[in-house]
Amino acid sequence: MSLQVNNKSITYIQDETVSDLLKRMNFTFPLVVVKINKTLIPRDSYKTTIIPKDAAIQIIHMISGG
């Protein structure tokens, strides 16, 4: 089984949370937005939200500048 993360296929891991996925994919930026199947996941739910099978995930880096 696989997941789609930013239109890239990766291996599905059962009971993986959003936080686990971010760590596995080396997303270390402090400001990211995560959507699972087009639903925005609140930042305070990253550690408890389990990623479902065959999910389509979008991870967006928020970048500020001046």
Q: What is the pLDDT of residue 25?
A: 94
* pLDDT for residue 7: 95
Residue 12 falls inside a structural domain: yes
Per-run averaged pLDDT (10 residues), the chain, 66 residues? 93 97 91 96 97 96 77
Cα radius of gyration rounded to whole Å, the chain: 12
pLDDT for residue 30? 81
- Which phi-psi region, left, alpha or beta, contains residue 26 (left: φ > 0; alpha: ψ -120 to 50)? left
Count of domains in the chain?
1
Which pLDDT score, from 0 to 100, does residue 66 have?
A: 61
What is the pLDDT at residue 28? 83
CATH code for position 8: 3.10.20.30
Return the number of other C-beta atoms located less than 10 Å from residue 16's C-beta: 16
Residue 37: per-residue pLDDT: 97
Q: Pairing mode, if any, of strands 8-11 and 2-5?
A: antiparallel
Range of 23's domain?
A: 2-61
The reply to whether 66 falls in a domain is no
Within a domain: 14 = yes
